[in-house]
């Protein structure tokens, strides 16, 4: 059976539009590990999957869904900073900014794509998939329904960062009489010009058409600061209120000409996805109301059937040509199999025209089918695009390496790839830029961002320290 329901992934992309000055010239395969996580002593983070964010000084910030000193067992996750060395070639320095689960009603477990958002004052915003004051899991260390938090830098050198919970989701199992709220946010946030934060929750809300159960479909929310320093939450869309709507958004949003664009893992009108009854996934656009109290209007485009791609974990990116690009982690013509030996495809890259100046999305068109071999497979990370129209991304499986690595039943340590359109944009060619080798060099890559040398920073959720296999932060230079 197709892995198409929301899974209990431990893994955790900043979905902003990355416009990078890379060219299609050949790359030397020069990957270097900047930091290896090692939480064998539990103090460090482990298994990073969310995208990094870089400040003006060149420091990198990120989250890990596990590790740290909060909670018990393997920790509840951390927010970390990597500082570049003063002397080129020297080691980078990691510092833990915050251990989640460090106090009562704190957020725990940053979600699968819980990248941090940096504002002009150096504050960091993010989400945790559990914790807070909600009542979703009252008898578990996974208690709470998730949070939105702010991390503020210290005023003096050597002091600690300060965490402030901006909002605790209450979920469908919240206190009696409370409105149906979101729960389990898995992605980072979008900050608009007015200081509002937008995000998604994988569960919660008032929709019931995805599974027949209220609160199982997810939401899109807005958080707005008030003059008194508090924040007000508003649900601007409940998924699953119609039979063809999306369900379970895992990926971050992007803001395009005042519209919010995103993806859902399940839902939509196509159900030919290996026997799944949850739908193949959906692309959505939310158009803001023309007046202050109006409703946001949703426009959708369904993904699938299986031959055309299914299961959309990753977010979207807008190219210079105005088209939207994304990946589906399953489907396509590849022959990858699930754990029950059903052929479910190896994933695809697709393009679509967004409904910015029209009434509907254009057709979802597959521009590349992964094979699960040297090109990679099971893509689950948002793409990057450059000024010449090339696309770049990572696949957590495929490639060639030893050591028995696999992801979603597809062997290999993962790849970094490039897609280049022909002069008319009608066909695309794929080039594998780098094949991860596992061990100390890292395996299972996630979510690249551009560096300052026409290359990339990224994370791997496996490999690195040989005593831990807890993942790395890497840099790739041309």
Contact of 39 with 468, CB cutoff 8 Å: yes
* Residue numbers in the chain where pLDDT is lower than 70: 1-29, 40-42, 137-142, 172-179, 274-277, 291-292
User: Which tens digit of pLDDT belongs to each residue from 160-191?
Assistant: 999 999 999 988 654 454 567 999 999 999 99
Q: Distance of CA 338 to CAs 1, 81, 331, Å?
A: 7, 36, 11
Residues 177, 160: Cα–Cα separation, whole Å: 38
Say what the pLDDT of residue 274 is.
Answer: 60
Q: CB-based contacts of 317: which residues, under 8 Å, 6+ apart?
A: 15, 17, 18, 254, 324, 325, 326, 382, 383, 384, 385, 391
Q: pTM of the predicted model, to two decimals?
A: 0.91
Say what the pLDDT of residue 17 is.
Answer: 36
Residues 44, 471: Cα–Cα separation, whole Å: 11
Residues 362, 272: Cα–Cα separation, whole Å: 20
3-state per-residue secondary structure call for 7-22:
CCCCCCCCCCCCEECC
Place of tokens 């995000």: 199
Contact of 141 with 71, CB cutoff 8 Å: yes
Q: CB-based contacts of 370: which residues, under 8 Å, 6+ apart?
A: 332, 334, 336, 346, 347, 348, 349, 376, 377, 378, 379, 395, 398
Q: Name the percent of the chain in helix, strand, coil, to the closest 5.
A: 0, 40, 60
Q: Walk me through the domains of the chain, giving residue ranges and CATH numbers.
A: 27-477 (2.120.10.30)
Q: Pick the closest to residue 260 from 233, 287, 281 (CA basis).
A: 287
Q: Which residues pair with 407 in a beta bridge?
A: 410
User: Which tens digit of pLDDT belongs to each residue from 123-134?
Assistant: 999 999 999 998
Length of the chain as a residue count: 478
Say what the pLDDT of residue 278 is.
Answer: 79
Sign of CA dihedral 11, 17, 20, 22: positive
Angle at 458 between CA 456 and CA 462, to 5 degrees: 145
Residues 65, 12: Cα–Cα separation, whole Å: 6
Buried b or exposed e, range 50-84, using 16+ CB within 10 angstroms: bbbbbeeeebbbbbbbbbbbbbeebbbbbbbbbeb
């Amino acid at each position: 059976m197709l892995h198409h329901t929301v899974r209990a992934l431990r893994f955790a992309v900043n979905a902003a539009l990355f416009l990078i000055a890379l060219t299609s010239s050949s790359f030397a395969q020069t990957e270097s590990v900047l930091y290896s996580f090692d939480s064998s002593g539990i103090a460090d983070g482990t298994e990073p999957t969310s995208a990094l964010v870089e400040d003006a000084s060149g420091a990198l910030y990120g989250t890990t869904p596990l590790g740290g000193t909060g909670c018990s067992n393997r920790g509840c996750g951390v927010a970390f900073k990597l500082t570049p060395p003063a002397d080129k070639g020297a080691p980078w320095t990691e510092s833990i900014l915050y251990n989640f689960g460090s106090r009562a009603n704190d957020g725990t477990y940053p979600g699968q794509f819980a990248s941090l958002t940096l504002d002009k004052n150096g504050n960091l915003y993010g989400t945790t998939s559990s914790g807070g004051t909600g009542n979703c899991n009252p008898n578990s260390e996974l208690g709470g329904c998730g949070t939105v938090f702010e991390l503020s830098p210290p005023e003096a050198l050597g002091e600690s960062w300060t965490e402030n919970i901006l909002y605790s989701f209450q979920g469908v199992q919240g206190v009696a009489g409370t409105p149906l709220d979101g729960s389990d946010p898995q992605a980072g946030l979008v900050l608009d010009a007015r200081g509002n934060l937008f995000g998604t929750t994988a569960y919660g809300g008032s929709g019931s058409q995805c599974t027949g159960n209220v609160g199982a479909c997810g939401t899109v929310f807005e958080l707005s600061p008030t003059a008194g320093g508090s924040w007000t939450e508003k649900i601007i869309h409940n998924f699953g209120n119609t039979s063809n709507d999306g369900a379970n958004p895992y990926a971050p949003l992007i803001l395009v000409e005042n519209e919010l664009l995103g993806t859902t893992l399940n839902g939509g009108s196509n159900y030919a996805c290996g026997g799944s009854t949850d739908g193949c996934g959906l692309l959505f656009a939310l158009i803001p109301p023309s007046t202050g109290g109006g409703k946001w209007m949703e426009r959708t485009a369904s993904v699938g059937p299986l031959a055309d791609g299914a299961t959309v974990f990753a977010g979207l990116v807008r190219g210079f040509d105005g088209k939207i690009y994304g990946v589906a982690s399953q489907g396509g013509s590849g022959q990858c199999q699930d754990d029950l030996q059903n052929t479910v495809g190896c994933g695809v890259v697709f393009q679509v025209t967004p409904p910015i100046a029209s009434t509907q999305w254009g057709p979802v068109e597959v521009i590349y089918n992964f094979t699960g071999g040297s090109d990679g497979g099971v893509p689950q990370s948002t793409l990057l695009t450059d000024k010449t129209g090339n696309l770049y991304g990572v696949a957590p499986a495929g490639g060639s390496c030893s050591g028995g690595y696999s992801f979603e039943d597809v062997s290999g340590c993962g790849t970094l790839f490039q897609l280049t359109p022909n002069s008319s944009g009608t066909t695309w060619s794929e080039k594998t830029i780098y094949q991860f080798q596992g061990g100390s060099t890292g395996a299972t890559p996630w979510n690249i961002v551009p560096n300052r040398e026409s290359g990339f920073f990224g994370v791997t959720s496996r490999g690195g320290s040989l005593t831990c296999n807890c993942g790395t932060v890497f840099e790739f230079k041309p």
